[in-house]
Amino acid sequence: MTRAHFYTATTIDGFIADEHDSLEWLLNQEHEEGGPLDYATFIEGIGALAMGATTYEWVRAHLESGGGGEPGGGDPGAWPYSQPTWVFTHRDLPAIEGADVRFVQGDVEPVWREMVAAANGKDVWVVGGGGLAADFAEAGHLDRLMLSIAPVTLGAGRPLFPRPFDLRLVELARHGVFACATYDVVGPREA
């Protein structure tokens, strides 16, 4: 059965990007290969991706500057994902040549069925942002949050998960400077 994961890094105070959508706070951290929540191990089990427009634009900007996309993304300037990617957006965005990117609007539900079919038995990665991950959770299609928690606070920025949900801790580990926590999504928090 295909499951959806929000695999991301966050600050201790719960932000995935600063107020200017920068990840400089993350890129300055020491990264180690292997270990808990290892990117290479994680991406092997992923058959389809979902991302918001801001995340897509960040990846695109880093490709144009030769900075690559995600860790382990391969050649600088090349789209770092072989999996089909659905970008949820309310505006027109430029495509990336050679990338299997599909721009969509509206509810998660009809897109979820397409993503599951394309994943072909593998899982779905909700790459970013937090609002999109919460949309998947509200639709009942987000199973896990897989968090690498950096020893940084920002005080403001893009929140990790902007709506109230109950989570259940599944695993906790250390990976270099990061605390790694995996949570199952239990459901919306009752008022």
Is pLDDT above 70 for 189? yes
Per the structure block, which two tokens stand in for 149?
């928690």
pLDDT above 90 covers a percentage of the chain that reads: 82
The position carrying tokens 């599944």 is: 170
* Six-digit token string for 176: 């270099």
Q: Is 57 a residue whose pLDDT tops 70?
A: yes
Total tally of structural domains belonging to the chain: 1
Rounded CA separation 18/68 (Å):
20
Q: What is the pLDDT of residue 43?
A: 97
pLDDT of amino acid 38: 93
Q: Do 67 and 27 contact (CB within 8 A), yes or no?
A: no
- Predicted structure pTM score: 0.91
* Mean pLDDT score of the chain: 92
**pLDDT at residue 26 is higher than 80:** yes
Q: Which CATH number fits the domain that encloses residue 108?
A: 3.40.430.10
Percent of the chain with pLDDT over 70: 93
What tens digit of pLDDT does each residue of 155-171 get? 999 999 999 999 999 99
CA distance 109 to 50: 12
Q: What is the mean pLDDT of residues 8-29?
A: 95
Q: Contact at 8 Å (CB) between 150 and 11?
A: yes
Helix/strand/coil for 138:
helix
* Structure tokens, 153: 């606070």
Q: What is the pLDDT of residue 102?
A: 97
172 - beta bridge partners? Answer: 181
Q: What is the pLDDT of residue 66?
A: 63
Q: Which domain holds residue 137?
A: 4-188
Tens of pLDDT, residues 85-144: 999 999 999 999 899 999 999 999 999 999 999 999 999 999 989 999 999 999 999 999
Residue 166 β-bridge partners:
187
